Amino acid sequence: MHSESNAGLYPQGVTVLGATGSIGLSTLDVLARHPDRYRVFALTAHRSIELLAELCQRHSPRYAVLADVQGVGELRTRLAALGCSTQVLGGAQAMIDVAAAAEAPVVMAAVVGAAGLLPALAAVRAGKRVLLANKEALVMSGRLFMDAVRSHGATLLPIDSEHNAIFQCLPPAMQAGSGVDRGITRILLTASGGPFRDAPLDTLANVTPDQACAHPNWSMGRKISVDSATMMNKGLELIEAHWLFGLAPAHIDVVIHPQSVIHSMVEYVDGSVLAQLGNPDMRTPIAHALGWPQRIVSGVSPLELCKIGRLDFSAPDFTRFPCLRLAYAALEAGGTAPAVLNAANEVAVEAFLQGRIRFTDIASLNEYVLTHVNSQAASDLEIVLAADVRARDEAKARLHTLER
């Protein structure tokens, strides 16, 4: 993942893409604990005007970017009333521009979904330290994205708790992007199983969006919470792990671990299994990536193993979690298949959250689109983006047969 010098002068400028989401807010919490090391250069959001205005007042970034240009005027008015001098920009290109701006050598890529691909890629092409929380960037364009990391000398640090845990369990040489003979036999991605891991299968069709978003361990946005409930989130992480760490699907296993204390494990040829443990708080991987290779304070409370008492593990059931099976199938198919699956899932989850389809329809819609949109070689970004559009069109056309 490439080494970088830590000799740069502090404080370092940081851009937070997706500042109003749960990862963005956790990032700002960690940054605020280290004003001598970091300063906020730019904050972006989709359309959360009120919250973005509050964050600008608190962190005084040079730029605030709204992807939804219709809210730009209102945000400017709010900031003026607050006496905040932050400059407001709007639109997708503005997000790309602040991601690439030289004044911020560190970028937190935390935009949810396919919309986060181009800004994250812009930061990579600018040779920055990129803290990647947007798994869809690698799901959609894994080989292209990783090639860009290498060719532009970027430093890519994973923020998903599972991938950050794996990174922490790697030898230092491999963390720095060198060392071919790694001696790794298997990666074990842990998963809580979400709110329905023990629910009777015949009740899943009738669960509500609020029930699906009630994650037992983590505080997350609604889209990723639904993905956790279907385990599509773990499927996307499976694909992301393949590209980050270079292991074939057969060497990446998913393990249900309800306590969410072990965040993932790495198995080596000598029989050793290294695990990273911690409380389920995203500030831990965020602080790790910000400070790497040093350690900095995150604000997370210490792990009390004696209070936890037990750690449980079980294999995932593909009957209960068909989306995980589809992710394995998409990764095996390769090419644009992962991008197709991701696009279908974004349409399906949005429809479920709107009450238009049942919870169990998410997997059936994903499978339909994955089997009806042919996979192509993902040889350039235009092909990937075109596959994303085709998959969304196919999913939307299919929705009317499922709508309640």
pLDDT in tens, 202-249: 999 999 999 999 877 766 788 989 999 999 999 999 999 999 999 999
Looking at the fold, whether 141 and 184 belong to one and the same domain comes out as: no
Alpha-carbon distance values, 67 to 45, 79, 115, 353 (Å): 6, 17, 10, 21
Residue 364, marked binder: no
Cis peptide bond N-terminal to 293, omega within 30? yes
Residue 367, marked binder: no
99 alpha-carbon distance from chain centroid:
16
- For the CA atoms of 87, 88, 90, 92, the dihedral, rounded to the nearest 10 degrees, stands at 50
Strands 38-45 and 63-66: parallel
Residue 47, marked binder: yes
Looking at the fold, whether 251 and 310 belong to one and the same domain comes out as: yes
The residue segments making up the domain with residue 376 are 334-399
Q: Is residue 116 part of a domain?
A: yes
Looking at the fold, whether 295 and 198 belong to one and the same domain comes out as: yes
pLDDT for 113: 84
Contacts of 293 (CB under 8 A, 6+ apart): 6, 172, 175
Residue 153, marked binder: no
Residue 206, marked binder: no
Looking at the fold, whether 32 and 112 belong to one and the same domain comes out as: yes
Q: Please state, in angstroms and rounded to a whole number, the distance separating the CA atoms of residues 40 and 104.
A: 8
Q: Is residue 327 part of a domain?
A: no
Residue 160, marked binder: yes
Looking at the fold, whether 346 and 207 belong to one and the same domain comes out as: no
How sure is the predictor about 114, in pLDDT bands with cuts at 50, 70 and 90? confident
Nearest to 321 by CA among 381, 255, 267: 255
Q: Please state, in angstroms and rounded to a whole number, the distance separating the CA atoms of residues 348 and 370.
A: 13
Residue 301, marked binder: no
Looking at the fold, whether 264 and 380 belong to one and the same domain comes out as: no
Domains: count for the chain = 3
Query: Is the pLDDT confidence value at 176 over 80?
Result: no
Cα radius of gyration (the chain): 20
- DSSP, collapsed to helix, strand or coil, labels residue 202 as helix
- Look up residue 396 and give its DSSP letter: H
Query: Is the pLDDT confidence value at 180 over 60?
Result: no
Q: Please state, in angstroms and rounded to a whole number, the distance separating the CA atoms of residues 20 and 175.
A: 30
Residue 23, marked binder: yes
Q: Please state, in angstroms and rounded to a whole number, the distance separating the CA atoms of residues 347 and 392.
A: 7
- Look up residue 355 and give its DSSP letter: T
Looking at the fold, whether 274 and 308 belong to one and the same domain comes out as: yes
Q: Is residue 2 part of a domain?
A: no
Q: Please state, in angstroms and rounded to a whole number, the distance separating the CA atoms of residues 193 and 398.
A: 28
Residue 379, marked binder: no
Q: Is residue 325 part of a domain?
A: no
pLDDT for 7: 42
182 alpha-carbon distance from chain centroid:
25
Domain with 128 in it: what CATH number? 3.40.50.720
Average pLDDT, the chain: 93
- CB atoms under 10 Å from CB of 368, counted, come to 18
Q: Please state, in angstroms and rounded to a whole number, the distance separating the CA atoms of residues 101 and 87.
A: 14
pLDDT for 245: 93
Q: Identify the domain boundary among 143, 158, 173.
A: 158
Residue 116, marked binder: no
- Determine the average pLDDT of the residues in 365-371: 98
At 96-109, the pLDDT tens digits run 999 999 999 999 99
Residue 215, marked binder: yes
> In the block, which residue shows the tokens 């890519």?
156
Q: In what order do the strands lie in the sheet with 252-256?
A: 252-256, 184-191, 262-268, 273-277
One-letter identity of residue 68: D
Looking at the fold, whether 188 and 315 belong to one and the same domain comes out as: yes
Q: Is residue 4 part of a domain?
A: no
Q: Is residue 328 part of a domain?
A: no
Alpha helices (runs of H) in 268-321, residue ranges in sequence order = 283-291, 305-308
Residue 304, marked binder: no
Looking at the fold, whether 47 and 28 belong to one and the same domain comes out as: yes
Nearest to 8 by CA among 128, 175, 125: 128
- Look up residue 180 and give its DSSP letter: S
Q: Identify the domain boundary among 129, 158, 187.
A: 158
- CB atoms under 10 Å from CB of 139, counted, come to 28
**Residue 205: is it exposed, middle or buried by C-beta count within 10 angstroms (0-12/13-18/19+)?**
exposed
Residue 208, marked binder: no
Q: Please state, in angstroms and rounded to a whole number, the distance separating the CA atoms of residues 147 and 176.
A: 16
Nearest to 131 by CA among 103, 110, 152: 110
Looking at the fold, whether 128 and 250 belong to one and the same domain comes out as: no
More confident residue, 11 or 404: 11
Residue 134, marked binder: yes
Q: In what order do the strands lie in the sheet with 12-17?
A: 87-90, 63-66, 38-45, 12-17, 106-109, 129-132, 155-158
Q: Is residue 6 part of a domain?
A: no
Q: Please state, in angstroms and rounded to a whole number, the distance separating the CA atoms of residues 124 and 151.
A: 9
pLDDT for 8: 54
Domain with 379 in it: what CATH number? 1.10.1740.10
Looking at the fold, whether 35 and 118 belong to one and the same domain comes out as: yes
One-letter identity of residue 324: L
Looking at the fold, whether 143 and 198 belong to one and the same domain comes out as: no
Q: What is the pTM of this model?
A: 0.92
Residue 350, marked binder: no
Residue 136, marked binder: yes
Q: Is residue 352 part of a domain?
A: yes
Tokens of 177: 């992007």
% of residues, the chain, pLDDT over 70: 95
Q: Identify the domain boundary among 158, 193, 221.
A: 158
